Amino acid sequence: MTDTPRTIRVLIADDQPLQRMGTTMFLTGQPDIEVAGEAGDGGEAVRLARELRPDVVLMDVRMPHLDGIAATRRIVTDRQGSEEAPRVLLLTTFDLDEYVLSGVEAGASGFLTKDAELADLLSGIRAVAAGDAVIAPSATRRLLRRLAAGHPDPVPLSAEEHAGIGTLTARERMILVAIGEGLTNAEISRRLHLAESTVKSHVGRIFGKIGARDRVHAVILAFRAGLVRV
């Protein structure tokens, strides 16, 4: 007997009604996805994320009143009690433009371009809901270069973040460095001669220890901790 897949609740935030309608119609046809609501601007997205507590917010980057970057920052930091904040997947017209990089720094779990294949949209939503990030290793490296260029002196770790880094074993630290370099689990597996399933288990423990939301957040923490250089 197999377990029934958990339904992923999605909030769609886009200022274009036709875009929202098309995305809603497509997602509604998926057995494991439920559209929890729609928002026409960033402010409404923040409010509905607070009220509806979706698993994932599909966030258009450029919206009136409150843009997707500012809305992402508010949603990610707006935890209620012991609940985790919804994860944000940014949608943009441009591949890795400065707005997307700002969104990732603000706490988004990745991004897709609006012309992405529908299958990529589905896999992106599912990956983000599972705690992974939607960003290619090459994009991770570009993200690090942009972070280094904009922040030659990285923001120091908080006491909690520093303590979390300090609890890592030598093997876990090596894996965090590899994540920071943009390596996938398969690439880490080959580098360290470990089974990919073992790497995946290590990654989960690392994220728990350092308080990382996902892979992108772990990359940023590794950069701020001085574990990776560009």
Q: CATH number for the domain including 204?
A: 1.10.10.10
pLDDT given for residue 1 in this prediction: 45
pTM passes above 0.75? no
Residue with tokens 């897709």: 112
pLDDT in tens, 160-198: 888 999 999 999 999 999 988 878 788 899 999 999 899
Structure tokens at 125: 């939503």
Q: How far is CA 93 from the centre of its chain?
A: 18
Question: Could you tell me if residue 107 is left (phi over 0), alpha (psi between -120 and 50 degrees) or otherwise beta?
Answer: left
Residues of the chain with pLDDT under 70: 1-5, 79-83, 94-101, 136-144, 147-155, 230
Enclosing domain of residue 176? 153-224
Asked whether residue 143 is domain-assigned, the answer is no
pLDDT given for residue 80 in this prediction: 59
CA distances to 67, 143, 226 from 32, rounded to whole Å, are 29, 31, 40
pLDDT given for residue 73 in this prediction: 92
User: Around 89, how many Cα atoms within 13 Å sit in the side-chain half-sphere?
Assistant: 29
pLDDT given for residue 20 in this prediction: 94
Reported for 136-141, long-range contacts at CB under 8 A and 24+ positions apart, including other chains, are: 137/182, 137/183, 137/184, 137/187, 138/182, 139/96, 140/182, 140/215, 140/216, 140/219, 141/181, 141/182, 141/230
pLDDT given for residue 148 in this prediction: 65
Asked whether residue 207 is domain-assigned, the answer is yes
Q: How far is CA 86 from the centre of its chain?
A: 10
CATH number of the domain at 17, please: 3.40.50.2300
d(CA 43, CA 45): 5
Structure tokens at 100: 């997307």
Regarding whether 95 and 201 lie in a shared domain, the answer is no
pLDDT given for residue 186 in this prediction: 83
